[in-house]
């Protein structure tokens, strides 16, 4: 089992079928999954009374198994089920529970939602929604098993109104897209994974986890560590901010390519004012960042064109994303685009991509253009042209500040300058960006965020 993989409902069914084909029965797998969930619930309940809401399918079957295990461990347990078990495994689990089953609300300390699981794709009836809300309101602590009822597993969409907020969600077997996708993710509280023996699934998405980043070798020097060129434009403050983040992200040398010296540039930033084509002719340049503060006029588009003609590897951000066109991507070089939702919409329009949702748009755009696409937002995704997909874990909401994206672009470009491929660099940047925010605390400025990047990098040893 690969803990970091994220599966669609279809992929999860196929992974479970592989276990069944190897000789595990549905009821045996239910005992494993519900047993792991029950252990989490037993710990958080700490002797307090528990109510389990069971649905008619196998998610409800998990609930009956959880109730039986908690009862056998000495907990006071009540089961509520508005519908009779409908699957063979759920019926067997209900028989083994053997205790009373209520049809209406009950009061206890801990509520466990096993009404509808990851297979739900449409709203459930008002009567069941009312029961769910009523039970959740009567309990101080709320746990969802696998996916909270009323949240679409493959998208994170909220299918019913006024769904409860949970304190803990226990994913069974593998993460689902809903666990890392808004708006559903916001209702789930803490997330924990219950392993059940699922094997690695080919083509599965992954969760972005803390990278392992080794320090430079003892024989390294600034060029071996990577020379990054940051192209400045009409608003040089943004490129200075990106450069400050890049300096703290692993690159050995960060140079600012600008039309004229900027008196605000720190002493440790070298500014090259040569014509951009001449400056980029330096074969030691490992990667180029263009976009932060570039502007959107003809001069800015010319700078972008020069960068695309000469760079060995490149990050396209901010204004450059609004200027880049299909005829400009003629060279086969490593490219990373870092759009927010508005920029992603513009890119899709300019490149003729028709898709709904950030994940689908990012994948389609990556496949069409050959760029890795880091579609940034409160639930960022990284999409590669070969179909690989990575999902970000929640980062502090304080990142919603002007200049935060410039910092992210600087980190990503720095990681590419060190030799990372665009997909790896994007994933590393997303993690480092979020970790820097955690270390910066609340209400930071983008420059303060950039200053924390080296601390985040140190956490990756």
Does residue 318 sit within a domain? yes
The reply to whether 16 and 80 lie within a common domain is yes
Residue 274, helix vs strand vs coil? coil
pLDDT digits (tens, 9 = 90+) for 189-204: 999 999 999 999 999 9
Report the distance separating Cα 219 and Cα 71, nearest Å: 62
Q: What is residue 260's predicted lDDT score, i.e. its pLDDT? A: 87
Same domain, 226 and 169: no
Residue 137 lies in a domain: yes
Residues 6+ apart with CB under 8 A from 267: none
Is 212 inside any structural domain? no
Choose one of 142, 169, 204: the last residue of a domain: 204
| CATH code for the domain in which residue 22 is found | 3.40.50.10260
The answer to whether residues 226 and 353 belong to one domain is yes
3-class secondary structure per residue, 66-120: HHHHHHHCCCCEEEECCCCCCCHHHHHHHHHHCCCEECCCCCCCEEEEECCCCCC
The pLDDT of residue 439 = 97
**Quick check: is 410 in a domain?**
yes
423 shares its domain with 278: yes
Q: Last residue of some domain: 144, 174, 204?
A: 204
Residues 189, 73 share a domain: yes
Domain match, 54 and 174 both: yes
Instruction: State whether 344 and 382 are in the same domain.
Output: yes
Cα–Cα distances (Å) from 379 to 86, 222, 326, 452, in that order, read 36, 34, 27, 21
CATH of the domain at 256: 3.40.1190.20
> How many domains does the chain fold into?
2
Same domain, 173 and 280: no
- What are the residues whose beta carbons fall under 8 Å from the beta carbon of 245, sequence distance 6 or more? 406, 407, 408, 409, 410, 411, 414, 449, 450, 453
Instruction: Look at residue 1 in the predicted model and tell me its pLDDT.
Output: 37
Q: Is residue 213 part of a domain?
A: no
138 and 233 part of one domain: no
Residue 417 belongs to domain spanning? 222-458
Q: Are residues 146 and 256 in the same domain?
A: no
What is each CA distance from 421 to 54, 388, 418, 433, in whole angstroms?
47, 13, 9, 18
**How many whole angstroms separate alpha carbon 106 and alpha carbon 74?**
19
Selection from 230, 345, 342, 237 nearest residue 291 by Cα:
230
pLDDT of residue 108: 85
Tell whether 445 is covered by a domain.
yes
**Interatomic CA distance for residues 197 and 21, integer angstroms:** 13
Please check whether residues 99 and 235 belong to one and the same domain. Answer: no
Does some domain include residue 326? yes
Question: Could you tell me if 52 and 157 lie in one domain?
Answer: yes
Position 216 in a domain: no
Residues of the chain with pLDDT under 70: 1-3
Residues listed for the chain: 461
CA–CA dist 155, 277 (Å, integer): 44
């Amino acid at each position: 089992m690969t803990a970091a993989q994220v599966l669609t409902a279809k992929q999860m069914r196929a992974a479970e079928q592989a276990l069944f084909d190897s000789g595990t029965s549905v009821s045996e797998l239910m005992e494993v999954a519900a047993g792991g969930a029950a252990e989490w619930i037993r710990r958080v309940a700490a002797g307090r009374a528990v109510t389990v809401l069971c649905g008619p399918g196998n998610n409800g079957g998990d609930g009956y198994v959880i109730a039986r295990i908690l009862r056998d461990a000495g907990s006071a347990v009540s089961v509520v089920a508005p519908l009779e078990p409908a699957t063979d495994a759920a019926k067997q689990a209900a028989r083994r529970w053997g205790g009373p089953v209520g049809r209406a609300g009950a009061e206890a300390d801990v509520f466990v939602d096993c009404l509808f699981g990851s297979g739900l794709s449409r709203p459930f009836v008002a009567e069941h929604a009312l029961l769910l809300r009523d039970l959740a309101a009567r309990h101080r602590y709320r746990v969802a098993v696998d996916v909270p009822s009323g949240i679409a597993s493959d998208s994170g969409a909220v299918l019913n109104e006024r769904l409860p907020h949970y304190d803990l969600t226990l994913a069974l077997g593998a993460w689902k897209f809903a666990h890392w996708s808004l708006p559903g993710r916001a209702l789930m509280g803490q997330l924990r994974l219950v392993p059940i023996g699922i094997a690695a699934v080919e083509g599965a998405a992954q969760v972005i986890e803390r990278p392992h980043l080794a320090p430079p070798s003892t024989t390294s020097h600034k060029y071996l560590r990577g020379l990054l060129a940051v192209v400045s434009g009409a608003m040089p403050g943004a490129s200075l901010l990106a450069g400050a983040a890049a300096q703290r992200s692993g690159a050995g040398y960060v140079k600012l390519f600008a039309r004229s010296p900027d008196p605000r540039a720190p002493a440790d930033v070298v500014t090259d004012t040569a014509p951009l084509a001449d400056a980029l002719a330096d074969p030691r340049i490992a990667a180029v960042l263009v976009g932060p503060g570039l502007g959107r006029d003809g001069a800015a588009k010319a700078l972008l064109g020069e960068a695309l003609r000469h760079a060995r590897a490149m990050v396209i951000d901010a204004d450059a994303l609004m200027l880049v066109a299909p005829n400009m991507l003629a060279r086969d070089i490593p490219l990373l685009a870092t759009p927010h939702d508005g920029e992603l919409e513009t890119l899709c329009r300019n490149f003729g991509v028709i898709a709904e949702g950030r994940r689908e748009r990012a994948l389609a755009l990556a496949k069409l253009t050959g760029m890795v696409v880091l579609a940034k937002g409160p639930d960022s995704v990284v999409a590669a042209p070969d179909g690989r997909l990575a999902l970000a874990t929640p980062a502090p909401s304080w990142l919603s500040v002007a200049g935060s994206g410039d910092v992210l672009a600087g980190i990503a470009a720095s990681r590419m300058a060190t030799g990372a491929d665009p997909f790896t660099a994007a994933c590393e940047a997303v993690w480092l960006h979020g970790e820097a925010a955690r270390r910066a605390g609340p209400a930071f400025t983008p420059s303060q965020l950039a200053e924390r990047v080296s601390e985040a990098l140190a956490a990756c040893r």
